[in-house]
Amino acid sequence: MAMQPFPRPLADRLRQLEEDRGTEYPEGYELIYSSRRTLAVQITAAGQVRVRAPRRTSRASIDRFLIEKEAWVLKYLTRAFEHASPPPPPLPESERRRYMELAREIFTRKAAYYASVMKVTYGRISIREQKTRWGSCSSKGNLNFNWRLIFAPEEVLDYIVVHELAHRREMNHSQAFYDIVESVLPEYKKEQKWLREHGESLWTAV
């Protein structure tokens, strides 16, 4: 499985919806190759997009498929967010700040360590509470991390840091990008799997 960016028309439409609705839509889709014969797209209850494709299907074919399915994807993404479970009661601000400071300490330490291993640089580190993203790396090298990751296993935090730092060499989710991740964390797919299966639990940890 690999995360891929949406084709341009669909990505532009999602950005427009984010502005109009104030909802944070996913920035890409999970691409799963298998022995199936046809392309299929799925919207999970958590509002993630999954595309299942026959092996050797080209990215151009997948992009055309998603553009054709744009109206369906937008409809069911919006429905998923409208029917999402109500959020837990808000944390007291003092407690939230404490968790965010702890996250800053952890991610600052891990980013410095893995950047030296990977021989890359980065800008500032921001700690956020993004609804559909665990981390991100801007074109200027600024790193953002979701503070709720501190409730995940240590290996998952390592994976997120390495994932974002790998964008300092490949600003995409190509095979070359995942080769970089794998060179540092050979078993990174275990952490991807953990996030798929248990990521929602991080929103109810506190």
Single pTM value for the model: 0.63
Q: CATH 3.30.2010.10 in the chain, residues? A: 93-199
**Greater pLDDT, 204 or 50:** 50
Q: How many CB atoms lie within 10 A of CB 163?
A: 24
pLDDT at site 84 = 61
H or E segment and range at residue 4:
strand 2-5
Q: 40: which strand partners?
A: 52
93-199: what CATH class?
Answer: alpha beta
Model confidence at 16, pLDDT cuts 50, 70, 90, reads confident
Model confidence at 114, pLDDT cuts 50, 70, 90, reads very high
User: Average pLDDT, stretch 21-47?
Assistant: 84
**Greater pLDDT, 2 or 179:** 179
Q: What is the pLDDT of residues 133-161, one digit of tens each?
A: 899 999 899 999 999 999 999 999 999 99
Compute CA 71 distance to the chain's CA centroid, rounded to the nearest angstrom.
22
Choose among 204, 129, 200, 122: nearest CA to 161.
122
Choose among 194, 44, 51: nearest CA to 134.
194
Model confidence at 206, pLDDT cuts 50, 70, 90, reads confident
User: Average pLDDT, stretch 91-108?
Assistant: 93
User: Average pLDDT, stretch 109-124?
Assistant: 97
